[in-house]
Amino acid sequence: DIAAKPETVFRFLSDPELFKQWMGPGAMLSATEVAVHYPNGGAARGTLRESVPNERIVFGWGYDDGTHGLMPDSTTVTISLTPTANGTRVTLRHDGIDEAQAAEHKKGWLHYLGQLKAGASNIGYAEALAGAVRAYIEAWNETDFTERESILACCWDEAGIFRDSMG
């Protein structure tokens, strides 16, 4: 689950620069292809098969050198987005692999999904932060209690979640 709207999460699945933020600097996304170039020199790639804004993206997956017994574009990865009360549930499904391959890939996909979660959550907060901070400071400089309360109400969203990175 990601504390960001499906539209925000989908941007990380469809925008080439945001795609790199969660798949790494060696990642490439185009209208027809997905590729990830790893620091060890290996690469994974596949074709972009489907893209439904704010709902899902489907792409092929496999490795240039046939690592894990998977040739480029030989399997299918589907990432689905479902709205939740607090953001988005992301479901990643990797089809066309056996149990051993699934066990190996699970570690990698969990890592990448963690990166996606961090990026999408942070960008959603960052977009709202400047206005909220400005209003908060304005509120505490306001001498009229009723007006202060009104301004403070603009600083908080009913669905807001406070997360302390140290707690």
Check if the beta carbon of residue 122 is closer than 8 Å to that of residue 107.
no
Q: Who contacts 90 (Cβ-Cβ below 8 Å, separation ≥6)?
A: 1, 2, 9, 79, 80, 81, 113, 116, 117
User: Which pLDDT score, from 0 to 100, does residue 131 have?
Assistant: 81
What is the per-residue pLDDT across 133-154, written as a single tens digit (0 to 9) for each?
Answer: 888 888 888 899 999 988 888 7
Is the pLDDT reported for residue 52 higher than 90?
Answer: yes
pLDDT at 167 over 60: no
Give the type of residue at 54: N
CA distance 161 to 154: 15
Is residue 82 scored above 90 in pLDDT?
yes
Residue 162's pLDDT is what? 65
**pLDDT at position 151, please?**
86
β-sheet with 43-52: strand ranges across: 27-29, 33-37, 43-52, 56-61, 75-84, 87-95
Assign 71 a pLDDT band (cuts: 50, 70, 90). very high
Q: Pick from 33, 36, 32: which is nearest to 21 by CA? A: 36
Helix (H) or strand (E) holding 50: strand 43-52
Rounded mean pLDDT of the chain? 91
So what's the pLDDT on residue 129?
Answer: 76
Q: Do residues 50 and 56 lie in contact, with contact meaning Cβ atoms separated by under 8 Å?
A: yes
Q: Stretch 30-53: mean pLDDT, rounded? A: 95
